[in-house]
């Protein structure tokens, strides 16, 4: 992904409904007194049972788990010169995924909710030319609307025992509610990850974040901020969407988070009914340097295109 967001630009890109404050201060979550919530990480396990499959000698699409919010695609085409794309279209939105490791399944969330999904697998033949491997349509009815944003996927990739999942458990010690847990994780990312300007200027197309690297280096671009935060929240059973689109004229990544509980995090208000837009890159960059209430726009700066 080309990450072109500049720190100066971030100080004017905020949603109208959310008057943001920096991560250096603000609310402390739900302020509810009670026993601590269970902070044991939960990583929903993906699998490929082979019950509903489309396949040939080049690739496999396993959509047995579509009701749980994800599908799996594997390519048998090996060799560094072979590029395989998975094209997913639903409700007028087109997603593309690259298979980087033939012989391993990639996990694709069904992030547009219920409805018809058209899935195509394409093999690169030369240059920007592709030939179809196969295509299939899946009529999806989700068991739970939140599961696409709780499972690990190709973009939001986490697992039991990895650095981000372990850190999520440490950060929410003592949290009473999910809003407290969100507060602790979000605050840590804002205060401990710095924006990497050099990486933003040089990152190659197709880049996928590595949470361990982001934590170990303490640096990242917007994609890294959003993926790390979403990964830790999902490990703590909090639905979190990775959102990619435009903030002003900059291609950008941010988040939407859901909690059934009510509470405040800085000036993000969780009412128990709606997804809340949060931008850890923005908040980390602000650092208390400006009065953000003076630069609130009308919300049109955020233009979501894709949800992962």
* pLDDT at residue 15, rounded to an integer: 36
Contact call for residues 106 and 97 (beta carbons, < 8 A) = yes
* Alpha helices per DSSP H over 156-257: 163-171, 178-192, 197-202, 211-217, 222-235
Higher pLDDT, 165 or 267: 165
* pLDDT at residue 130, rounded to an integer: 92
C-alpha distance from residue 218 to each of 119, 230, 243, 284 (Å): 37, 16, 22, 12
* pLDDT at residue 20, rounded to an integer: 32
Average pLDDT over residues 122-126: 90
* pLDDT at residue 28, rounded to an integer: 62
Q: Write out pLDDT tens, residues 68-110.
A: 999 999 998 765 456 899 999 999 999 999 998 889 999 999 9
**What is the C-alpha radius of gyration for the chain, rounded to an integer number of angstroms?**
20
**Rounded CA separation 59/124 (Å):** 13
* pLDDT at residue 297, rounded to an integer: 38
Is residue 153's pLDDT more than 80? yes
**Torsion 295-299-302-307 (CA) sign:** positive
* pLDDT at residue 250, rounded to an integer: 87
Is residue 291's pLDDT more than 60? no
Among candidate residues 107, 193, 184, the one with its CA nearest the CA of residue 150: 107
**Rounded CA separation 117/138 (Å):** 5
For residue 251, the SS3 value is strand
**Rounded CA separation 138/261 (Å):** 33
Q: Six-digit token pair at 246? A: 């435009």
Q: Six-digit token pair at 73? A: 């695609």
Is residue 134's pLDDT more than 70? yes
Among candidate residues 179, 219, 245, 211, the one with its CA nearest the CA of residue 37: 179
| 62-71, 79-88, 219-228: least confidently modelled range | 79-88
Higher pLDDT, 270 or 294: 270
Between strands 84-90 and 70-75, the pairing is unpaired
Average pLDDT over residues 214-219: 98
With 0-12 / 13-18 / 19 or more C-beta atoms within 10 angstroms meaning exposed / middle / buried, residue 212 is: middle
Average pLDDT over residues 174-196: 96
Is residue 17's pLDDT more than 80? no
Between strands 194-195 and 129-140, the pairing is unpaired
Is residue 295's pLDDT more than 50? no
* pLDDT at residue 300, rounded to an integer: 65
* pLDDT at residue 31, rounded to an integer: 67
Contact call for residues 180 and 30 (beta carbons, < 8 A) = yes
* pLDDT at residue 76, rounded to an integer: 87
* pLDDT at residue 199, rounded to an integer: 96
Average pLDDT over residues 232-254: 95
Is residue 34's pLDDT more than 70? yes
Is residue 260's pLDDT more than 50? yes
* pLDDT at residue 174, rounded to an integer: 95
Higher pLDDT, 65 or 127: 65
Higher pLDDT, 77 or 57: 57
Average pLDDT over residues 25-38: 73
Average pLDDT over residues 281-308: 66
Rounded mean pLDDT of the chain? 87
- Residues recorded for the chain: 308
* pLDDT at residue 292, rounded to an integer: 35
- When pLDDT is cut at 50, 70 and 90, the band that residue 228 belongs to is very high
């Amino acid at each position: 992904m080309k990450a072109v967001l500049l720190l100066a630009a971030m100080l004017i890109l905020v949603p109208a409904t959310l008057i943001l404050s920096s991560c250096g201060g603000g609310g402390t979550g739900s302020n509810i007194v009670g026993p601590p919530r269970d902070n044991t990480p939960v990583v929903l396990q993906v699998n490929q049972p082979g019950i509903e499959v489309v396949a040939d000698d080049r690739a496999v699409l396993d959509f047995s788990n579509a009701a749980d919010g994800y599908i799996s695609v594997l390519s048998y085409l090996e060799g560094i010169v072979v590029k395989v794309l998975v094209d997913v279209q639903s409700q007028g939105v087109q997603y593309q995924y690259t298979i980087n490791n033939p012989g391993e399944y990639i996990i694709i969330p069904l992030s547009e909710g219920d409805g018809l999904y058209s899935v195509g697998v394409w093999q690169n033949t030369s240059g920007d030319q592709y030939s179809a491997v196969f295509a299939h349509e899946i009529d999806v009815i989700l068991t739970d609307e939140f599961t696409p944003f709780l499972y690990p996927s190709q973009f939001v990739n986490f697992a039991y025992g990895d650095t981000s999942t372990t850190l999520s458990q440490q950060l929410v010690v003592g949290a009473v509610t999910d809003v407290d847990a969100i507060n602790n994780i979000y605050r840590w990312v804002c205060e401990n990850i710095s924006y990497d300007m050099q990486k933003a200027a040089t990152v190659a197309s197709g880049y996928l974040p590595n949470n361990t690297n982001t934590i170990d280096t303490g640096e990242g671009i917007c994609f890294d901020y959003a993926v790390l935060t979403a990964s830790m929240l999902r490990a703590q059973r909090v639905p979190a969407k990775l959102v990619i689109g435009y903030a002003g004229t900059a291609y950008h990544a941010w988040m939407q988070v859901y909690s059934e509980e009510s509470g405040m995090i800085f000036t993000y208000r969780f009412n128990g009914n709606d997804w809340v837009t949060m931008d850890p890159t923005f908040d980390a960059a602000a650092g208390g340097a400006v009065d953000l209430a003076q630069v609130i726009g009308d919300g049109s700066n955020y233009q979501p295109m894709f949800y992962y």
